[in-house]
Amino acid sequence: MLPGIYLGGAEAVDILGSYAELYLREELHAEALVRNLGDFARLLDIAAIMSGQWLNRALRKEWRLSGYRTESGAEVDLVVERDDDIVGIEIKAGRNVVGADTRGLLSLADTVGGYKPVKKWVAYRGEKEQVFDSGARVLPYLKALDLLQQNA
């Protein structure tokens, strides 16, 4: 979960940017260790560079960034609250996604779906886009970043 930032201006942006980059790097690194992926170091380098660029765009658009976790263990790695909707993004290091990977996204949609429409995305290292019966979209991570930048 992202820390609360009570400071204003550039200092708050710097703190949040550093935190988000560190969180993303540690989350992806942990996934790599669990799955023992040999070529995962390349993804970490790309993600670190892109996360800083993406975070700067998100902050300029005044999107609210956070995470989501319930007491029962349902979680979403990144929640992006935009003007008209909320995008929940589960980040997976693997090349395969199964329905169980969307558990946190479904919980998020049930919890906040009455407030704003919720898009449920899983960003992963695979190449194929998919849509589960629940409406959760599975997207290659670069495609997910592009769609966020386009407000799609």
What is residue 5's predicted lDDT score, i.e. its pLDDT?
46
Structure-token pair, residue 74: 């349902």
Residue 64 pLDDT level (bands cut at 50, 70, 90): confident
Alpha helices, H only, the chain: 9-35, 40-60, 103-112, 141-149
Over residues 125-148, the mean pLDDT reads 92
Over residues 142-147, the mean pLDDT reads 87
pLDDT of 23 > 60? The answer is yes
Over residues 80-104, the mean pLDDT reads 92
> Which CATH architecture best describes the domain 9-149?
3-Layer(aba) Sandwich (3.40)
- Each domain of the chain, given as residue ranges in start order, spans 9-149
pLDDT above 90 as % of the chain: 38
What is residue 149's predicted lDDT score, i.e. its pLDDT?
81
Q: Say how far apart CA 83 and CA 64 lie, in whole Å.
A: 9
Over residues 59-82, the mean pLDDT reads 88
Query: How many beta carbons lie within 10 A of that of residue 129, not counting itself?
Result: 11
pLDDT of 31 > 50? The answer is yes
Residue 1 pLDDT level (bands cut at 50, 70, 90): very low
Residue 151 pLDDT level (bands cut at 50, 70, 90): confident
